[in-house]
Structure 1
């Protein structure tokens, strides 16, 4: 498969609306920022924010800086954006970390709270890393969280309830995995999103489940 130039990748992201003018409406984004600021833990994505982010405008400012959403607080409806250049910067950082994992033949765990969109992406990356000698972590069977089960599908840990895979922001499925793996079974790298990643982003001293050297 040919490697895309940065310009070609930016064009692809904009054309497919992964970045640039995205499908998420502005009022939906602002609603999520407001709920985060008001302490709705569903929108904390596994992080423990305390009283650090209690102003919707502060959340908007950091999202504008990190993701490139429109930074004008008066813009309340219509289209919102994701900066494609910032997106490619993030992809390049991710590529560097994946190269390190492949070179070191690391143990890697994949998980997603958005199974409808991301299972195939994570599964393909898992297959590529396995081909380079990485150990793709298998989670224990019978893990329970949030009145459902944590299962693995195509090398990716997901949340299942009522025979369906669920979108979830909760950190509890990842906590169940870490408990099930134990200290000796912990991965070197976790590739995850939503609450599955947020719980791992906590400072080690603030987490019950500390993972050293996990990105």
Structure 2
């Protein structure tokens, strides 16, 4: 989608302005327009999920470089993708199993004037060769079902074998997420869980599972 033509005014209702990007809430007129066009995500890609803000802060501390490639897994509406492309100017690929999230990601890319590569794929379909040029793999609020724990663990292993330098998964504290962290620890991966907090755009906290290669 072209990055021109749509202007969101400062302070407009149902918007979030944070960390240099503009995001839309579910009640915004442009979001409602997409819903009327029958773009209805079916795998929880129905809003901006909060844990993404804590990954944004982590990436800012890491000082991501413009020549790096970030893979946003389970991207949803794409707040993390938008932030990384806007803040760091790096290559960003947004991946989601649900094709109906991409119109919402396109909308946010248009508003924020960034270009995001897109790929529709389930986690188990992301092969080692597909991850070979990825430096950072990150996902927010993606480990919400018990059956996702082994799927994500295998994806983490494939990513490390492919040479991904850092993997970050953020979650507000669901049990499948902690099961994933435990599996990483038992497997001897260079992993840790850290708690992060922020006061913007509202008071939030999440745990980050960080695996370094």
Q: Which has the higher helix share?
A: 1
TM-score tier after normalising by the smaller chain length: 0.3 to 0.5
TM-score norm. by structure 2 comes to 0.33
Q: Which has the higher strand share?
A: 2
TM-score norm. by structure 1 comes to 0.33
Greater gyration radius: 1
